[in-house]
Amino acid sequence: MHIHVLGSGAGGGFPQWNCNHPISRRARNKEASARPRTQSSIAVSADGRDWFLFNASPDLRQQINDNAVLHPDPNQGLRHSPIKGVVVTNADVDHITGLLTLRESQPLRIYGTRRVLGILGTNTIFNVLNPEFVKREPITLNQPTELQHPDGKVSGIVVVPFAVPGKIALWLEDATKGAGFGSVEEDTIGLEVRDSRGKTAFFYIPGCASMPPELASRLRGAPLVFFDGTLWTDDEMIKGGVGTKTGRRMGHMSVNEPDGTIAAFKDLGVKRKIFIHINTTNPILIEDSAERKACAAAGWEVAYDGMDIKI
Ligand code: MLT
Ligand code: MN
């Protein structure tokens, strides 16, 4: 299995376009220790030739241009893409708007929960993905599904979607619906990825609000987990003067809280742990920061665009 990190930043990327936070500024000033990051997405392949995107970010056009593995094969005719499909884990702007980049009558399969596909269905702009060529495939929680090429060929990549604590996409929040803003279980999922023999390869969880015991047992002993690294502390955006929301309010658990991610993973025996979906204010983005060192000391890596993993 091949994993290629296309984008390791959270919604808005690093630096976010309108952000003057000192950490954003370091990236904008092109400091070597503050490597810029596009928005959250990875590409996964069983053979290194055909790829499935996990989430489609607004930066997808740049991500395709920057990553030769996603370029059309010159031996495959005038129209070709190694991208055979997309799996979306929620309906956030940073995870679905890249679908619009994939128009132009290219055959694809789009996988998501019925809830998220329903959201795409009611937003007719997504019909630019010509339904004659692009199949939308509902995935069912806790049911293994082998991803297929548009022509039905099996990929060798099996995903098991499961609900994680989270919330409805920001742009769909309805304050009249109480504390959850209208969220339902299928709004936010994580993915266990298995090879075609059923062996767990890795987990992909770019958004998660907390670590309930059932999630902890699912992840226990996993070989590799990509996990929500949005904020270092829950009140980081408020303290930094760039926002009014906590991480909790945004549906993200934070890295360095007493009930945060480092603490929650401490005894899970996960062999390789990588933060992804990292916000433009998070000090772990700075390679020589004390917070980055603390991550490393706790056995965590920080994903970067272009990170390549072969399992
Ligand atoms: C998030 O992860 O909280 C979202 O990407 C926020 C957004 O849609 O801007
Ligand atoms: Mn996001």
pTM for the whole thing? 0.98
Atom of ligand 1 nearest to the CA of 93: 8
Atom of ligand 1 nearest to the CA of 94: 5
Task: Supply the pLDDT for residue 48.
Answer: 97
Atom of ligand 1 nearest to the CA of 277: 2
pLDDT in tens, 217-274: 999 999 999 999 999 999 999 999 999 999 999 999 999 999 999 999 999 999 999 9
pLDDT in tens, 12-30: 999 999 999 999 999 999 9
Relative to the alpha carbon of 8, which ligand is closest? Answer: 2
Answer yes or no: are the C-beta atoms of 200 and 193 closer than 8 Å.
yes
What type of residue sits at position 178?
G
Pocket test for ligand 1, best of 16, 19, 40, 94 (most atoms within 8 A of CB): 94
Tell me how far apart the alpha carbons of residues 270 and 283 are, in angstroms, rounded to a whole number. 23
Tell me how far apart the alpha carbons of residues 70 and 228 are, in angstroms, rounded to a whole number. 25
Q: How far is the CA of 247 from the centre of ligand 2 (A)?
A: 11
Answer yes or no: are the C-beta atoms of 204 and 273 closer than 8 Å.
no
> CATH class for domain 2-310?
alpha beta
Tell me how far apart the alpha carbons of residues 184 and 115 are, in angstroms, rounded to a whole number. 8
Answer yes or no: are the C-beta atoms of 176 and 214 closer than 8 Å.
no
Cβ of 94 closer than 6 Å to ligand 1, yes or no, is yes
Cβ of 294 closer than 6 Å to ligand 1, yes or no, is no
Task: Supply the pLDDT for residue 270.
Answer: 98
DSSP string across 18-78: T---HHHHHHHTT-TTS--B-BSEEEEESSSSSEEEES--TTHHHHHHH-GGGSPPGGG-S
* Average confidence (pLDDT) over 20-47: 98
Tell me how far apart the alpha carbons of residues 257 and 230 are, in angstroms, rounded to a whole number. 13
Relative to the alpha carbon of 250, which ligand is closest? Answer: 1
CA nearest 95: which of 149, 59, 145, 141?
Answer: 59
pLDDT in tens, 112-167: 999 999 999 999 999 999 999 999 999 999 999 999 999 999 999 999 999 999 99
Whose C-alpha lies nearest to ligand 1, atom 6?
11
Whose C-alpha lies nearest to ligand 1, atom 9?
11
Task: Supply the pLDDT for residue 233.
Answer: 98
Whose C-alpha lies nearest to ligand 1, atom 3?
250
Q: How far is the CA of 146 from the centre of ligand 2 (A)?
A: 25
Tell me how far apart the alpha carbons of residues 5 and 53 are, in angstroms, rounded to a whole number. 10
Pocket test for ligand 1, best of 59, 96, 170 (most atoms within 8 A of CB): 170
Task: Supply the pLDDT for residue 305.
Answer: 98
Residues with a beta carbon under 5 angstroms from ion ligand 2? 11, 92, 94
Q: Hey, what are 129's tokens?
A: 């993905």
